[in-house]
Structure 1
Amino acid sequence: MDTMSVDVATVRSAASVAGARENTRAFLAGLVQPAIAAETAETVVLVVSELVTNALRHGGGSCTLDLAAHPDSIAVAVHDGSPQAPRMRAPDLNGGTGGFGWAMINHLARTTAVTRQKVGGKTVSAFLAR
């Protein structure tokens, strides 16, 4: 199993999310047996982008991204300091304030999980087919 942990910057910025996407692409590119198809890689990158964005926006402004490759799946885990679990909400079709991310993640992933941490905060995980 290949794993990687990436600390995402403690500011709420597009650069933090872009860095998470870049690190995810590098991690996936380094997998050799079996290699990841381009479409699968972009799906994983999209899920990382959404989870990191949500953690920075709603989880206290900082997070840690962990990636793990299993024989049949890729695990994405984002840890942040908020105990508040993600929730489905109606998408904002007019104001552009979101509401699509959690539903999209649940659609793209095989499964998702939210685990509260004893020391505070939570981990939001998504498991995607390899």
Structure 2
Amino acid sequence: MERSRGSDESGGRPPLTGTTPAKPGASLPATAADARDRVAALLRQSELPQGADAVADALMVTTELVTNAIRHGGGLAGFHADVHDGALRVSVADHSSEVPVTQTSPPAGIRIGGYGWPLVQSLVDDLTVTPHPNGKQITAHLKLR
């Protein structure tokens, strides 16, 4: 099942690529902080005008997706980030076929966790969840306004 919000823009100049772990020997970020650092460096390299809010949103989305893959998805299976047509695309693959679910009612008592997926959904312009034989890949697009 693929879920999408918005549309994918293509054309223009080629993407500026950050990390492509699908290639043999490519290293995956060891932690969410490592992934965040890679995306921050990619954004600096892009030389696009970016507001502080756009950068904070991009780093928050990266952190949430990688953290969820590590914590709930059986580990990080892939990570890719690139900048294309004024937008950041972050793809994170994990080993779980479970699709993230937005909780509709809060559990009794103090809730720990469960806020990341709704936060990601609210910050991105386009979001897809694509299953694959060994888990799933989540791809988020954020316009760098």
Q: Deviations over 1:51-84 (max 9, x none)?
A: 0111111110233221111113111110111111
- Where do residues 32-47 of structure 1 align in structure 2 (5 Å cutoff)? 32=47, 34-47=48-61
1:103 corresponds in structure 2 to 118
Q: Work out the CA distance in 2 between the residues paired with 1:71 and 1:31.
A: 11
- Where do residues 55-70 of structure 1 align in structure 2 (5 Å cutoff)? 55-70=69-84
- Where do residues 7-46 of structure 1 align in structure 2 (5 Å cutoff)? 7-9=28-30, 16-32=31-47, 34-46=48-60
With structure 2 as the length reference, what TM-score do the two structures score?
Answer: 0.76
Contiguous gaps of at least 5 residues in structure 2? 1-14, 20-26
CA apart distance, 1:92:
6.0
- Is the Cα–Cα contact under 8 Å of residues 96 and 134 in structure 2 kept in the other structure? yes
Q: Work out the CA distance in 1 between the residues paired with 2:29 and 2:108.
A: 29
Give the structure with higher Rg (CA). 2
CA pair 93-100 structure 1, distance change in 2 beyond 3 A: farther
- Is the Cα–Cα contact under 8 Å of residues 76 and 92 in structure 2 kept in the other structure? no
CA pair 67-98 structure 1, distance change in 2 beyond 3 A: same
Q: Work out the CA distance in 2 between the residues paired with 1:38 and 1:97.
A: 28
Larger RCO (CA under 8 A, 6+ residues apart): 2
Q: Which has the higher helix share?
A: 1
CA pair 36-63 structure 1, distance change in 2 beyond 3 A: farther
1:127 corresponds in structure 2 to 141
CA pair 67-91 structure 1, distance change in 2 beyond 3 A: farther
What RMSD over aligned residues (CA atoms) do the two structures have, in Å? 1.8
**Amino-acid identity (%):** 31
Contiguous gaps of at least 5 residues in structure 1? 10-15
- Is the Cα–Cα contact under 8 Å of residues 29 and 36 in structure 1 kept in the other structure? no
- Is the Cα–Cα contact under 8 Å of residues 20 and 52 in structure 1 kept in the other structure? yes
Q: Aligned pairs, how many? A: 122
